[in-house]
Amino acid sequence: MTQRTGSSKYSAEVRERTVRLLFDHAGNYPSQRAASCTIF
C-alpha cells in the first residue's frame, strides 16, 4: 500500500482514533464491515 501525499480531510490523530475504535469494537459484530458501518 502506498502512502498518500498532500493534505487530508482528517488529521492523523482522528484517523488513528477511528482505526483503534474499529478494531476495539470489531469483536462485537459478525464482520469488520458491520462494525465499520456503526462507526462511520
Render pLDDT for 1-40 as a digit per residue (tens, 0 to 9): 566 666 789 999 999 998 999 888 888 999 888 988 887 7
User: What pLDDT shows up at residue 14?
Assistant: 92
**String of DSSP letters for 1-40:** -PPP-S--SS-HHHHHHHHHHHHHHGGGSSSHHHHHHHH-
**pLDDT for the residue 26:** 87
pLDDT at residue 8 in the model: 80
The residue segments making up the domain with residue 26 are 10-40
pLDDT at residue 6, rounded to an integer: 62
Number of structural domains in the chain: 1
User: Is the residue at 2 inside a domain?
Assistant: no
The type of residue at 31 is S
- Residue-level pLDDT at 4: 61
Decide if 5 is inside a domain.
no
pLDDT recorded at residue 40: 74
pTM for this model (two decimals): 0.59
Distance in angstroms between the alpha carbons of the first and the last residue of the chain: 22
14 within domain boundaries: yes
3 falls within a domain = no
Residue 32 lies in a domain: yes
